[in-house]
Amino acid sequence: MGVNFIYKSIDFASVLPLWKTQLWPLRTDPILPVSAIKLGGGIEPSLLEKQVHFLGAYDGDELVGAVSGFETGDGTFRLRGLIVLPGRRGKGLGRALLQNLMALHPAVKLFWTAPRQDNLDFYQRVGFLKVGEWTFEHFVPGPNCYAIFQPPPQNVFDPDAFSSGQIVSKLWLCQELERVVGERSLPHQVVWHLCGWNGLLPFLLFARERLNIAKIRSFDIDSRAVATADQFLNTWEWQDWKFKALCHDIHSLNYSEPEKYHSPPAQIVINCALEHLAETTWWERVPEGITVVLQGTDMANHDHVVQLTSPDDLLGRYPCREIYFSGSKKFAYASGFKFSRFMVIARK
């Protein structure tokens, strides 16, 4: 089962044992809290005087992951030393550490890092772009490269969140959920939306006014998406938090203590981002008997780690007791690009 990770600032003494044993076990030179390496190569000794922000992820009293960062001049900020204990990987913890640290430095114009060859794919999935060639200069064991991430302006909507595929698939969900709830008189006053992104689905559910929804809680590990969702749904956010987006790892949600999320117990759990989830720990935490709405796709994309083939394939990964709806929706564009989305509404 997943755990409830707590993210908090730590000091160098706390992270050093993790770096020594997990990140740089073969290093013989002293491990310093900061590095003098410049973006693109070369050394800048003045960087050694920079104040470093260390962020740790805790499971209870155990430090299970960490990352650090420091300003490198002209609005740039280096991310360094990202590490997650082997037994805690695959749950989105590395991504959450990066995004939480970046969110704590909103004035930064450009984040950069120097990943190893076996880690570049992870950084690209988070949104980093490789720049330059692989190099051994200043890196042990190497080779490493440089990768950059330029954050979008605060509270600017991601255009992909409002693409035709996103809107049509969310409207499809609304229509089928409204029909199923009406036919079966299912409890639906409290909805938890996992991987909620910028809040398009909650907006549609509230604006259509077909369901008597009292509360929607949206969970996402991207703090920028959380801020955007709260702004987008401000009409309902200010109404005693009828809607509220929360920056939280869905693999560690505690359904037995909903008050932690300022919510009554969930009656419907929705997840439309199955293509992004290799781990199924989040599913194990969803209570038995609850109504679930699941959507995934067969679309090939650089940040899709699971490509479903059918509603049956979806149910093979996420078995349910009683199926209320199961279907597919095909998308085909004039350019030749096509894909399908699959959806199941069921009782877990």
Question: What are 181-198's pLDDT values in tens digits?
Answer: 999 999 999 999 999 999
Q: Where are the domains of the chain?
A: 6-149, 159-347
Q: Assign 226 to helix, strand or coil.
A: helix
Superfamily of domain 159-347: Vaccinia Virus protein VP39 (3.40.50.150)
Identify which of 81, 86, 83, 80 has the alpha carbon closest to the alpha carbon of residue 94. Answer: 83
8 A C-beta contact, residue 310 and residue 136: no
Tell me the pTM: 0.61
Q: Say if 6-149 and 159-347 have the same CATH topology.
A: no
Class of domain 6-149: alpha beta
Question: Which pLDDT score, from 0 to 100, does residue 183 have?
Answer: 97
Task: Please list the pLDDT of the chain residue by residue as tens digits (348 residues).
Answer: 234 578 889 999 999 999 999 999 988 889 999 999 999 889 999 999 999 999 999 988 899 999 999 999 989 999 999 999 998 888 788 998 998 899 888 889 999 999 999 899 999 988 899 998 998 887 777 799 999 998 876 655 677 888 999 999 999 999 999 999 999 999 999 999 999 999 999 999 999 999 999 999 999 988 778 888 988 999 998 888 899 999 888 998 999 999 989 999 999 999 999 999 998 999 999 999 999 999 999 999 888 999 999 999 999 999 999 999 999 999 999 999 999 999 999 999
Look at residue 138 in the predicted model and tell me its pLDDT.
79
pLDDT, residue 222, reads 83
pLDDT per position as a tens digit, 239-282: 888 999 998 889 989 999 999 899 999 999 999 999 999 989 99
Smallest CA-to-CA distance from 96 within 221, 5, 252, 247 is with 221
Res 153: pLDDT: 64
User: What is the C-alpha separation between 338 and 216, in angstroms, rounded?
Assistant: 32
DSSP H or E segment with residue 312: helix 311-317
Q: H-type helices in 139-280, by residue range?
A: 164-184, 200-208, 223-232, 234-237
Positive/negative CA dihedral, 235, 238, 240, 243: positive
What is the per-residue pLDDT for 107?
A: 84
Nearest to 138 by CA among 13, 21, 18, 47: 47
Give the torsion sign (CA, 231, 166, 95, 70).
Answer: negative
pLDDT at 89: 87
Mode of pairing for the β-strands spanning 291-297 and 338-347:
antiparallel
Q: Which residues contact 13 (CB under 8 A, 6 or more apart)?
A: none
Amino acid 155: pLDDT: 54
| Residue (of 231, 4, 23, 202) closest to 96 by Cα position | 4
Helix (H, G, I), strand (E, B) or coil at 117: coil
Burial (CB count <10 Å: 0-12, 13-18, 19+), residue 232: buried
